[in-house]
A and B are shown apart, each in its own frame.
Chain A
Amino acid sequence: MFENEMKLEFPSKSENESFARVVVAAFAAQLDPTIEEIADVKTAVSEAVTNSIIHGYEGEVGVITIECKIEGKKLTVVVSDEGKGIEDIELAMQPLYTSRPELERSGMGFTVMETFMDSLKVESTPNIGTRVTMVKEFKSI
């Protein structure tokens, strides 16, 4: 089985949102994804990174880490921060739930990640950080 991996660390600046999703898309390109599959991965990565910037570090600068692994046709993306963390993960993952409505957040980020990837796992500890693991199996041959 073909395997590959990469790790990326960058400061939680909003300029890096597009950088992060383009890097993951470029890494995933070796799986010959369809245009739709690549768009899905980019959107999911953007959601997770944006959450670390807005909610994890709340505008302060911290480090965001992205780890990607390819196993056969499967891509695993882990986005983690050492920010504020989430008290109630089940509540946070509910569609339309947002802790920051005043910032015009819609509470749809986790729902987008869930819909665009095959699986989503959220692990978080208040004041320690958050780790989001997403998996997508590419259909292309």
Chain B
Amino acid sequence: MILKFDDIGKALVVKMSGELDHHSSEIVRIKIDNKIEELGAKNLIFDFAEVNFMDSSGIGVVIGRYKKIIQYGGKVVVIGLSPKIKKVFEIAGLFKIIDEYDDLSKAVSSI
């Protein structure tokens, strides 16, 4: 799993590449939380475009960051969901708390 961070002012964009499972989730969680703290990021945009596998460990990662971000009144949104990742999001009911956008610019303007 490779993580790329982009601080676009309004939000922290987290671009993930690879497989989000239990093995990778521990380090992903730590790296994102450290970045949120370092930048004092208020909002978070998850870019899943290059995530080719995700199971319930990924659900835990997304919900965990959501809980952190909403404490300070921020927002978490997602972009780049492939059909198979979307299926996992749907089963977990993640769209009740997190909105999905077609691209980065739409995600940014939603915040």
The reply to whether A42 and B56 contact each other, CB–CB distance below 8 Å, is no
A34 nearest CB across to chain B (Å): 11
Instruction: Point out the residues of chain B lying under 8 angstroms from A47, CB to CB.
Output: 55-56
Of B25, B57, B60, B91, the contact of A111 (CB 8 Å cutoff): B91
Of B23, B53, B63, the contact of A42 (CB 8 Å cutoff): B53
The reply to whether B60 and A106 contact each other, CB–CB distance below 8 Å, is yes
Using a Cβ–Cβ cut-off of 8 Å, how many residues does chain B contribute to the interface with A? Answer: 21
Contact with A along B34-71 (1 / 0, CB 8 A): 00000000000000000001111101110110000000
Instruction: Point out the residues of chain B lying under 8 angstroms from A111, CB to CB.
Output: 91
Given contacts A106-B63, A106-B92, contact A112 B56 (CB under 8 A): yes
Instruction: Point out the residues of chain A lying under 8 angstroms from B56, CB to CB.
Output: 47, 50, 105-106, 108-109, 112
The reply to whether B22 and A50 contact each other, CB–CB distance below 8 Å, is yes
The reply to whether B22 and A108 contact each other, CB–CB distance below 8 Å, is no
At the interface, yes or no: A54 with Cβ under 8 Å from chain B?
A: yes
- Name the residue of chain B whose CB is nearest to the CB of A54: B22
Of B25, B55, B60, B64, the contact of A43 (CB 8 Å cutoff): B55
List of 9 A-B pairs having minimum Cβ-Cβ separation, nearest first: A14-B23, A104-B60, A39-B84, A46-B55, A50-B22, A104-B64, A106-B59, A108-B56, A109-B56
Interchain residue pairs with CB less than 8 A apart (23)? A14-B22, A14-B23, A15-B23, A18-B19, A21-B53, A36-B84, A39-B84, A43-B53, A43-B54, A43-B88, A46-B22, A46-B53, A47-B56, A50-B21, A53-B22, A103-B60, A104-B64, A106-B56, A106-B60, A106-B92, A108-B56, A108-B92, A112-B88
7 further interface pairs, Cβ-Cβ under 8 Å (given A18-B23, A112-B56): A15-B23, A39-B84, A103-B60, A105-B56, A111-B91, A112-B88, A112-B91
Which B residues are closer than 8 A to A by beta carbons? 19, 21-23, 25, 29, 53-57, 59-61, 63-64, 83-84, 88, 91-92
